[in-house]
Every structure is written in structure tokens, then in C-alpha cells.
């Protein structure tokens, strides 16, 4: 093993074995780490058409090569697998300390395969891994599970675990560490399907670096640039709790299941209002932003509710989709999601879908266990969060996600299922932020803002150029730029927020080179190609699973129903030319008209073996 790179821990839950291995050169060199390792391992080892809930599905926990170092905002971690929600490639990113602890124990990847007969957890140390009975933990909520494991293994232990929702394989269950979650794509449901309750890591703080002196100088420079950044200061003060002030003003704050782009009394949800309930701050390992803002409810229906959040997506999804302005209800729903281990965006998306069905008379109290789903009623929303996590009654239907729920309900419900590739959409309206919408459509993980965030449309970013947010095919290059840039940043698992703080990408490659000794990772041209390589390999994975142009689409509502914004820009907008956008996007990507990477493109990216497989299709 290269002394300054960590190894991979391979765990087979069926055989109850765990072995440390060196990451092979054909993965380590061209993919550097993090998300690169995730898709490279997944493509290589996952049998095509594996059932996400069967033992052949791989579940990978990844830390980047910069995790646990003195450089800031680089210790996030991610999970890669095949999604039970979309049936395609999944990657989900999280914060807190767990990524740093993976590296402290000596691992950049934990590769889990097989399925345990009874519940287990993994206890990782620098000496290896023990597979331990988790009978006492099963059924426990995520705070309790983490407490029990820290009591058992000591304060130098960090835990990532599932809650009751993951155990019941809610298709969008999350994996939780501290109060931070790898929540999208149903990664927690895959963990539950394997009877894997938790991973606990006990380790001393220590990472090895190729050139510690050079790394230290770069980290000091990074800190200097960060603290000179206005964006950093704003994020430190507010976290994401002011984003709704921007999106509601722009008319891209989706209301009532994406019917409207502005909430009429949305100012009641603005950041200044959340600030009044703020009671604490939390940060990921070695990040001075501490952007997690905790809120506590002291009076009223939800008195006693507390959450390390909600962040923008979660405060949106538990208010606007049901046309509520109760901040207290968003705090309670967010708390429940973290405790029970469930993705906020998909949970709230499913509930918003149900409220619209109820209003239209497609479902009634006979379908909803007697609940009335009336816009503005947040108490019913909170009840539904609990019913989904418990798979109780109507909650069991919604626990399958909007696509499967619509099929079960029938009666035309499909028309109101707002998703791409089966994953519920996040908090940016595609008709008013079209590059963001097209990124949802072409994302390899389905409807995620984190696969290629269109900061140009939302915050007026000018890299690589300013854009008109209502333009369509003209901005195909921007969608590609945002997706590839995200891939590039996630080999070192840079926090997406920290990319705007003046040090990225200039110092990023240098930090990677100083940490790993791989000199060419300091070359920005090489790193940009790396982002493109990752997106193409993820695409090739999905093509192997049967995905293609037919799956790169937005909900019909975006193409046919004019957006209403109540005076904000974008009134009457629809997505006019989806197909023309795809033609241009595929052309620029070097993919054929079905959205399949060409042999020429894959070969150019060094994916020669993959190209052979694709050419035989
Ligand atoms: S900016 Fe926030 S989410 Fe990102 S690393 Fe820092 S504390 Fe974590």
C-alpha cells in the first residue's frame, strides 16, 4: 500500500469476512478518490441488473484523500450504490466527522457486499473490522443508536447508522452521522436490506500525507483566502437559511407540488424569522463556517422540537408543498426525519404529491387512514412523516416514492408525480431556473440539485459566464460545466458550499498533489477531465442498466403548464424545447442521439474497456 494513501476495507456480510486491500492502480490513479473510487468500483464489481435490495448490490462508503487533514471543508463523505428509488447509479454526500474518522482508521473506502442473516454493525479500528451483533440496536432511532455505540466503544468513536425507516427499507431512507445525513437515492434502504444497522469507527486523529510541509503551507493559504471571502462570512452567519429569500423573490420557490413559483406570504419563512428560533451552531470536521444552524421551538403545538436545521431544502419541503408557513412545523418534521433516518426532500415531495391528489379528489379519507390533507394543515404533514417512516397505512404507499405510489393509487395520479428518474425534485423550479431543471433531467442520480448546481441562475455566479435563466439549449454547456465541476470537486469531496470561498479551484489540485503525491492532480486541465470521466462512467453504468434518452426528462407539468409567480419574473414560463436541449447537450458531451457515450468519447477519457462494452450494445 502507498504509505500516504489509505486502503479499502472489503466486507462480505454473507460470509462474515472483512479484509483490507490496496486500492488497485487502475482505480487509484485515474480516479484519485472519493466519487471517482465509488463509480469505478461500482462499475467494475456490480453485476448488471442487480436488485438494489439483494446481496449482489454493493454499498460503498467513501472518504476523500483530503479528509481528516488541516485543510478546511474537505472531510465530507459519501455513499455509492445502486438506488432502490431510481434503479440507477446512486451517490449521496454527507457531513459531520465520519469522513475524517474513516481516514483516521486507515480507510478511504469501505466496500460492503452480501447480506447479514441477522442485524449487525461494523466496528472499524486501525487494526481491521469486527462484525458485531446489532440486535440491541435494531429498532432504535439514530440518536439512540449513536449514543449506545459511543458508550460501548468510547468517545473516540464516530458512527453512521440507519433508523427505523432504513430498517423498513423506505425507498428514500437515509444514513445518519451526528445530525448529518447521506439521504438521497435511498442509500439507507440499501443498508437496511443488508441488515447493516451501523458502522462505528474508533480511531486516533492521524492522517498520513505525501508532503506534510507543503500541505501545511497550502492549508494556511486556504484559510487566509477563506477568511477574506464575503461568501464565507455570509454562509457562516446564515448557513442556507436565507436561500428562500432569494428563490421566493426570483419566483423559483416551488409551491403546491410545483404549481407556483412564489409563496404569497413566503416572507414568514425568511431567514430572519428562522434566526429568531436559532439556538446553536454545528460544523463538519475542521470547517470554521459551522453552517449547521440549530433551531428550537419553545411554545405552541411543537414546543420542545429541536433540529440541527432545517436547511434550505428541508425548510422548503415541509412548508411550500403544503402551502404552510409554520416554521415550527418544519423544525419538527426535520427533527423527525433525522431521528427516523429518512430523506427530507423525498419525504416532503411525497407528502406534497398526496396533498394535490387529495385536493383533486383522486384520493380521499378512505385512502389516507382518515386524514384530511388540506393545504395549510401542517399537523397532518407531520403525522405523515411518521407514518412514512413506520410504513404505516397510507404511509406505506408513500414510502415507495411518488412513481410507485402513483402506480398503486392509479386514477391518473401519475400526472402529479414530480420527479426525474424516480427521484423527487428539490427546491428550485425548473421553469424559472432552466439550467437547474435540465441538470435534474440529465443527472445520473435523478432529481438532485447537488449533481450540478446552477449557481449562475440562483446567485448570479459568473463562472464560466453569466447566463439568462430562461434560456434553454443555449445553456447546455453550462449544465455540463456544473455537472463536471461537481464531479471534479467530489474526488476530494470538497463541500459544495466551500467552492465559493475564493480558494477553489486554484488550491484544490495543489492540496491533492501534496496529500497524495500524484503530481498531475495539480493540473486543472487534468482535474476537469476527471470530472467529465466520472460523469461519463456514471452514465455508462446507467446505460448498462437500460437508461437512455427516454429517462432524461422533466415532469410533464414543466412542459405543459405555465408557471405562476404572482408578479415575480417567469410568469407563464414553460420548458419549451426539451428535445432540442437534449440534442445540444448530447452533442457537446460526445454522446449519441440516445444519450449513450460514444466509443470515441470514452476512449478519449481513458475508459477504453468501458468503450468496448458500450460498442457491443
Ligand atoms: S460549509 Fe457547512 S456543510 Fe460545508 S463542510 Fe462546512 S460546516 Fe460542513
Cβ atoms within 10 Å, residue 224: 12
Tell me, in angstroms, the distance from the centre of ligand 1 to residue 94's CA: 10
CB–CB of 126/148 below 8 Å? no
Q: Which residue is associated with the grid cell 414568514?
A: 268
Mean pLDDT of 67-89: 97
Quote the pLDDT of residue 616: 56
Q: Best mutation site among 63, 182, 232, 291 for ligand 1, i.e. most ligand atoms within 8 A of its Cβ?
A: 291
pLDDT value at residue 3: 58
Q: Are 371 and 380 in contact (CB under 8 A)?
A: yes
Residue 36 or residue 1, greater confidence: 36
Mean pLDDT of 221-245: 97
Is the pLDDT at 311 greater than 70, yes or no?
A: yes
Determine the pLDDT at residue 371: 98
User: pLDDT value at position 612?
Assistant: 75
Question: Is it the case that residue 212 has pLDDT exceeding 80?
Answer: yes
pLDDT, tens digit (0-9, with 9 covering 90-100), for 159-196: 999 999 999 999 999 999 999 999 999 999 999 999 99
Assign 30 a pLDDT band (cuts: 50, 70, 90).
Answer: confident
Please give the order of strands across the beta sheet that includes 89-94.
Answer: 17-21, 7-12, 107-113, 59-63, 77-82, 89-94
Do the Cβ atoms of 389 and 163 come closer than 8 Å? yes
**Cα 417 from Cα 404, distance rounded (Å):** 9
User: What is the CA(236)–ligand 1 centre distance, in A?
Assistant: 9
Q: Among 582, 558, 556, 579, which Cα is nearest to 570's?
A: 558
Other CB atoms within a 10 A radius of the CB of residue 552 amount to: 23
Strand order in the sheet with 292-296: 278-282, 292-296, 306-308
576-600 burial, b for 16+ CB within 10 Å, e for fewer?
Answer: eebeebbebbbeebbbbeebbbbbe
**For residues 386 and 380, what is the distance between their CA atoms, to the nearest angstrom?**
10
User: Is 402's C-beta closer than 6 angstroms to any atom of ligand 1?
Assistant: no
Burial profile 79-116: b = 16 or more Cβ within 10 angstroms, e = fewer: bbbbbbbbbbbbbbbbbbbbbbbbbbbbbbbbbbbbbb
Q: Please, which pLDDT band fits residue 580 given cuts at 50, 70 and 90? A: very high
| pLDDT for the residue numbered 518 | 87
Enter the C-alpha cell of residue 107: 480507510
**Over 60: is that where the pLDDT of 2 sits?**
no
Q: What is the pLDDT of residue 1?
A: 47
**Which atom of ligand 1 lies closest to the CA of 288?**
6
How far is residue 138's CA from residue 328's CA, in Å, rounded to a whole number? 30
- Residue 291 beta carbon below 6 angstroms from any ligand 1 atom: yes
34-45 and 524-544 helices cross at what angle (nearest 10)? 30
Whole-Å CA distances, 99 to 34, 44, 125, 285, 307 = 10, 24, 14, 8, 22
Residue 572, classified by CB atoms within 10 Å of its CB into exposed (0-12), middle (13-18) or buried (19+), is: exposed
Is the Cβ atom of 413 under 6 angstroms away from ligand 1? no
Question: What torsion, rounded to 10 degrees, do the Cα atoms 442, 444, 447, 453 define?
Answer: -70
Q: Residues 612, 546: contact at Cβ < 8 Å? A: no
Q: Report whether pLDDT(27) > 60.
A: yes
Region 94-114: mean pLDDT is 96
What sign does the dihedral 580-582-586-589 (CA atoms) show?
positive
Mean pLDDT of the chain: 96
pLDDT band at residue 615, thresholds of 50, 70 and 90? low
Q: What is the per-residue pLDDT across 464-488, written as a single tens digit (0 to 9) for each?
A: 999 999 999 999 999 999 999 999 9
The three-point CA angle 260-486-105 to 5° equals 120
The pLDDT of residue 617 is 60
SS3 of 446-507: the string is CCCHHHCCCHHHHCCCCCCCCCCCCCCHHHHHHHHHHHHHHHHHCCCCCCCHHHHCCCCCCC
- Report which of 316, 315, 310 is spatially closest to residue 296, judged by C-alpha positions: 310
Distance 95 CA to ligand 1 centre (A): 7
Using the mean position of ligand 1's atoms as its centre, give its distance from the Cα of residue 398 in Å: 31
Q: Is the pLDDT at 152 greater than 80, yes or no?
A: yes
Q: Pairing state of beta strands 196-202 and 278-282?
A: unpaired
- How remote is the CA of residue 555 from the centroid of ligand 1, in Å? 32
Per residue in 400-456, pLDDT tens?
A: 999 999 999 999 999 999 999 999 999 999 999 999 999 999 999 999 999 999 999
pLDDT over 90 at 28, yes or no? no
Q: Which residue has the cell 423544525?
A: 331
* Higher per-residue confidence, 2 vs 516: 516
C-alpha 296/C-alpha 617 separation (Å) is 55
Q: What is the CA radius of gyration of the chain?
A: 23
The C-alpha cell that represents 77 in the structure block: 463523505
Cα dihedral: 96, 100, 102, 108 (round 10): 120
% of the chain beyond a pLDDT of 70: 99
Dist. CA 262 → ligand 1 center (Å)? 28
% of residues, the chain, pLDDT over 90: 94
For position 608, what pLDDT does the model report? 87
Other CB atoms within 10 A of residue 466 CB = 11
Amino acid at each position: 500500500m502507498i504509505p500516504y494513501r489509505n486502503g479499502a476495507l472489503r466486507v462480505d456480510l454473507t460470509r462474515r469476512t472483512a479484509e483490507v486491500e490496496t486500492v488497485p492502480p487502475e482505480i487509484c490513479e485515474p480516479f484519485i478518490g472519493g466519487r471517482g473510487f465509488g463509480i469505478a468500483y461500482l462499475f467494475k464489481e456490480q453485476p448488471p441488473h442487480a436488485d438494489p435490495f439483494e446481496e449482489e448490490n454493493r454499498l460503498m462508503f467513501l472518504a476523500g484523500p483530503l479528509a481528516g487533514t488541516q485543510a478546511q471543508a474537505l472531510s465530507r463523505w459519501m455513499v455509492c450504490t445502486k438506488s432502490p428509488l431510481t434503479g440507477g447509479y446512486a451517490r449521496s454526500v454527507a457531513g459531520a466527522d465520519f469522513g475524517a474518522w474513516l481516514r483516521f482508521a486507515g480507510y478511504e473506502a469501505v466496500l460492503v457486499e452480501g447480506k447479514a442473516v441477522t442485524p449487525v454493525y461494523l466496528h472499524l479500528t486501525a487494526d481491521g473490522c469486527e462484525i458485531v451483533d446489532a440486535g440491541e440496536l435494531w429498532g432504535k432511532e439514530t440518536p439512540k443508536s449513536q449514543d449506545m455505540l459511543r458508550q460501548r466503544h468510547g468517545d473516540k468513536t464516530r458512527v453512521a447508522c440507519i433508523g427505523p425507516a432504513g430498517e423498513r427499507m423506505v425507498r428514500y431512507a437515509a444514513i445518519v452521522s451526528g445530525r448529518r445525513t447521506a439521504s438521497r437515492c435511498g442509500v439507507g434502504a440499501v443498508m437496511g436490506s443488508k441488515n447493516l444497522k451501523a458502522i462505528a469507527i474508533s480511531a486516533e486523529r492521524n492522517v498520513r500525507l505525501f508532503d506534510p510541509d507543503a500541505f501545511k503551507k497550502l492549508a494556511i493559504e486556504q484559510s487566509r483566502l477563506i477568511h477574506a471571502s464575503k461568501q464565507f462570512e455570509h454562509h457562516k452567519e446564515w448557513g442556507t437559511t436565507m436561500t428562500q429569500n432569494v428563490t421566493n423573490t426570483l419566483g423559483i420557490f416551488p409551491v403546491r407540488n410545483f404549481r407556483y413559483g412564489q409563496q404569497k406570504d413566503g416572507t414568514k419563512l425568511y431567514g430572519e424569522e428562522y434566526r429568531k428560533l436559532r439556538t446553536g451552531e454545528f460544523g463538519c470536521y475542521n470547517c470554521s463556517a459551522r453552517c449547521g444552524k440549530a433551531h428550537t421551538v419553545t411554545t405552541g403545538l411543537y414546543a420542545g422540537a429541536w433540529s440541527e436545521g432545517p436547511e434550505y431544502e428541508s425548510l422548503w419541503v415541509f412548508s411550500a408543498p403544503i402551502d404552510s408557513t409554520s416554521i415550527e412545523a418544519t423544525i419538527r418534521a426535520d427533527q423527525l426525519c433525522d431521528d427516523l433516518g429518512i430523506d427530507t426532500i423525498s419525504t416532503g415531495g411525497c407528502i406534497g404529491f398526496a396533498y394535490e391528489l387529495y385536493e383533486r379528489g383522486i384520493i380521499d379519507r378512505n385512502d389516507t387512514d382518515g386524514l384530511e390533507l388540506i393545504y395549510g394543515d401542517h399537523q397532518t404533514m407531520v403525522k405523515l412523516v411518521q407514518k412514512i417512516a413506520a410504513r404505516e397505512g397510507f404511509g406505506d404507499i408513500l414510502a415507495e416514492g411518488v412513481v410507485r405510489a402513483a402506480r398503486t393509487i392509479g386514477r391518473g395520479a401519475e400526472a402529479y408525480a414530480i420527479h426525474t428518474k424516480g427521484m423527487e425534485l428539490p427546491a428550485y423550479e425548473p421553469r424559472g431556473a432552466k439550467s437547474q431543471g435540465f441538470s435534474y433531467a440529465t443527472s445520473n442520480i435523478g432529481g438532485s440539485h447537488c449533481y450540478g448546481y446552477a449557481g449562475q441562475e440562483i446567485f448570479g455566479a459568473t463562472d464560466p459566464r453569466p447566463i439568462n435563466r430562461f434560456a434553454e439549449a443555449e445553456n447546455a454547456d453550462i449544465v455540463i460545466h456544473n455537472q463536471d465541476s461537481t464531479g471534479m470537486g467530489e474526488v476530494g469531496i470538497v463541500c459544495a458550499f466551500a467552492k465559493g470561498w475564493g480558494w477553489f479551484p486554484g488550491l484544490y489540485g495543489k492540496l491533492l498533489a501534496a496529500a497524495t503525491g500524484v503530481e498531475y492532480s495539480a493540473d486543472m486541465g487534468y482535474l476537469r477531465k476527471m470530472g467529465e470521466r466520472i460523469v461519463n462512467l456514471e452514465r455508462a453504468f446507467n446505460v448498462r442498466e437500460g437508461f437512455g434518452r427516454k429517462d432524461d426528462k422533466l415532469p410533464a407539468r414543466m412542459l405543459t403548464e405555465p408557471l405562476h409567480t404572482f408578479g415575480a419574473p417567469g410568469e407563464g414560463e414553460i420548458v419549451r424545447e426539451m428535445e432540442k436541449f437534449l440534442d445540444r447537450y448530447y452533442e457537446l458531451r460526445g454522446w449519441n442521439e440516445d444519450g449513450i457515450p460514444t466509443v470515441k468519447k470514452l476512449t478519449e477519457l481513458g475508459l477504453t474497456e468501458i468503450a468496448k462494452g458500450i460498442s457491443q450494445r
